Amino acid sequence: MGVPLGADPPRHDISTVDDVLVLVRESGGRVTISRRLLLEAIFDDPGHHSAEDLAAIVQAKAPDVHLSTIYRNLEELERLGVVVHSHLGHGPATYHLAASAHCHFVCEHCGAAVKAPDELFVNLAARAQKEFGFTIDPHHFSIFGRCRNCQ
Amino acid sequence: MGVPLGADPPRHDISTVDDVLVLVRESGGRVTISRRLLLEAIFDDPGHHSAEDLAAIVQAKAPDVHLSTIYRNLEELERLGVVVHSHLGHGPATYHLAASAHCHFVCEHCGAAVKAPDELFVNLAARAQKEFGFTIDPHHFSIFGRCRNCQ
DNA sequence: AAGGCAGTTGCGAATGGATTGCAACAAGCT
DNA sequence: AGCTTGTTGCAATCCATTCGCAACTGCCTT
């Protein structure tokens, strides 16, 4: 899904693991250990994580949580609007809190990912909307190119 | 690689299959049937093609050209700057002539890809350059979002 | 025209990321 | 405690792409 520029904020505010678990319950889901551990991993470090990274973190505490469980839980958390994933180029998708979604410039040479403020995209967003009726979601895929050091 | 906004045009001009084959020879490569058929497929329809699509077209004339040969040839043609690939979302990469590279808006709901004129990106490109020293290549990855019909 | 170096090919197997079917399991309702 | 239904572990599978390797062939040289 993703969070288009200027989307509404979620109805509840979600700033802790327990807030999310309440949401999970409300939507008919159950609170399980893997679910909680996954959320803790995501809240502990709000940066980018591949599913595999997250699995490793969770497995440090509960060794036999399976990678497929991580994927399934991430999928559900996306449905709930708690996390989003984005594609930082080739390689695995990265997941992070929806609240901290942002755009990226990714260097096609060295792979470095630079955070790009949303503000850079408002002009493009407005024109895409006006001229094409298209609402951009610049968070989901990053913008490729060359970073300062790799020109 | 890709073609950053405002990149230099190739030294020879390349407007026919034979032009490319000359280039192939000059770079120490050989002219083979699969190479020629692949190029014909790409020149015949300058739209987007997945490797698999191209394989099917080539195989109509030379049934045992292998998919891996298509990939290898596409790779070489990219090295030569004749074709580029871009990622139109999830799913396979699409290949097309470097000369006809352009940006895309891809609808995350229905998958529709809309051509986006480069001109829309000049403002973003300038700011990315000035503020981050980053040269964007908006052709390589498309911009995700919602199209008019899928708001 | 024949020979030979080096680029190419077909094939199958392997890779990496992600998804799925299924039977066993467990959260939390009553 | 019992039951319903959501969840999990596991293995198998999928898809796009890449790789190793022996056989092959373009094309330069003689």
Stated in angstroms, how far is A51 CA from D5 C1'?
A: 27
Which run of H or E residues covers position A33? helix A33-44
Indicate the angle between helix axes B33-44 and B51-61, nearest 10 degrees: 120
Q: Shortest CA distance to A128 belongs to which of B132, B151, B126?
A: B151
Cβ–Cβ gap A136/B105 under 8 Å? yes
The B-side interface with A (CB below 8 A) comprises 1-2, 4, 87, 89, 105, 107-108, 114, 116, 120-121, 123-124, 127-128, 131-138, 140-148, 151
What is the Rg, in whole angstroms, of the alpha carbon atoms belonging to chain B?
Answer: 17
Which candidate from A1, A140, A145 shows the least CB-CB separation from B136?
A145
Distance CA A34, CA A12 (A): 23
Phi first, then psi: give them for residue A109, nearest 5 degrees.
-95, -55
Which candidate from B107, B108, B135 shows the least CB-CB separation from A151?
B135
Distance CA A99, CA A6 (A): 12
Handedness of CA B139, B142, B146, B150 (dihedral sign): positive
pLDDT computed for residue A89 by the predictor: 86
Chain C nucleotides reached by a protein CB under 7 Å: 6-13, 16-21, 26-29
Cβ–Cβ gap B105/A124 under 8 Å? no
pLDDT in tens, A4-33: 554 444 556 788 999 999 999 999 999 999
What is the full DSSP assignment across chain B? ----TTPPPPSS---SHHHHHHHHHHTT----HHHHHHHHHHHH--S-B-HHHHHHHHHHHSTT--HHHHHHHHHHHHHTTSEEEEB-SSS--EEEEGGG--EEEEETTT--EEEE-GGGGHHHHHHHHHHH--EE-TTTBPEEEE-GGG-
pLDDT in tens, A59-109: 999 999 999 999 999 999 999 999 999 999 889 999 999 998 899 999 988
Which candidate from A108, A133, A147 shows the least CB-CB separation from B140?
A108
pLDDT computed for residue B12 by the predictor: 60
Which candidate from A133, A135, A148 shows the least CB-CB separation from B133?
A148
Distance CA B55, CA B65 (A): 8
What is the Rg, in whole angstroms, of the alpha carbon atoms belonging to chain A?
Answer: 17
* pTM of the full structure: 0.87
Q: Which residue do the tokens 């996390």 mark? A: A83
- Rounded to a whole number of angstroms, the distance from the CA of B19 to the nearest CA of chain A is 28
Cβ–Cβ gap B1/A108 under 8 Å? yes
Amino acid identity, position A13: D
Chain D nucleotides reached by a protein CB under 7 Å: 5-12, 15-20, 25-28
Residue A119's Cβ-count burial label (10 Å; 0-12, 13-18, 19+) is exposed
> What is the full per-residue pLDDT of chain B (151 aa) written as tens digits?
444 554 444 456 788 999 999 999 999 999 999 999 999 999 999 899 999 999 999 999 999 999 999 999 999 999 999 999 999 988 999 999 999 889 999 998 888 899 999 999 999 999 999 999 999 998 988 999 999 998 8
Stated in angstroms, how far is A100 CA from C16 C1'?
A: 28
Stated in angstroms, how far is B70 CA from C4 C1'?
A: 28
Stated in angstroms, how far is B68 CA from D19 C1'?
A: 10
